[in-house]
A = this chain, B = another copy of it.
Amino acid sequence: MERPLTTVAEAAGGDGDGDGEVYRIRPLELDDISKGFSNLLSQLSPSAPLTEDAFRARFGELAALGADHLVLVAEDASTGLLAAAGAVLVERKFIRSCGRVGHVEDVVVDAAARGRGLGERVVRRLVEHARGRGCYKVILNCTPELRAFYAKCGFVEKNVQMGLYF
């Protein structure tokens, strides 16, 4: 589902942006634990650094879900580090004639790479993945401050999110 990009030139142009940036958006790989993935996630939710063992174990679990769970990252070709990430989980339902729904989760852009449209590019790729998997909609939860960002990505506000914390 994700077209492999073999060169930086292809990556910059192949994404259809033509903005001269050298971010390569691609599925998460096992090597990414050494490319700042843990640091990137810490900007989303403070947490102890991810150990390589834990990362590899979770990577394997998610790989077993195939295209129903996709984590995308944006790699900065100039540094070899990850500048953004995001995930989409495809839920298989019984309602809507056994419909599918994409859940966008854990979208984050490195503090130093913000303001360049990278988050929107990642979200749009996640949405396209969900569409390609036959989802009838994609949903996500966000803080009120992020409404405008997701509206720019094509989302409209719906309902409220409730949570129960253990």
| Interchain CB contact (< 8 A) of A97 among B44, B47, B92, B147 | B47
Contact mask A123-166 → B, CB, 8 Å, 1/0?
00001000100011111111110010011011111111111111
In whole Å, how far is A31's beta carbon from the nearest beta carbon of chain B?
15
Which size class do A's interface residues fall under? 35 or more
| Interchain CB contact (< 8 A) of A163 among B45, B47, B158, B164 | B158
Copies in the complex: 2
The residue in chain B whose Cβ has the minimal distance to the Cβ of A124 is: B164
Say whether A106 contacts B135, CB under 8 Å: no
Note all chain B residues with C-beta closer than 8 A to A163: 137-140, 155-156, 158
Instruction: Pick 16 A–B contacts, CB within 8 A, sort by A.
Output: A55-B98, A57-B98, A58-B92, A58-B94, A127-B164, A136-B166, A138-B164, A139-B164, A140-B163, A141-B158, A147-B162, A156-B163, A157-B160, A158-B161, A159-B161, A160-B160
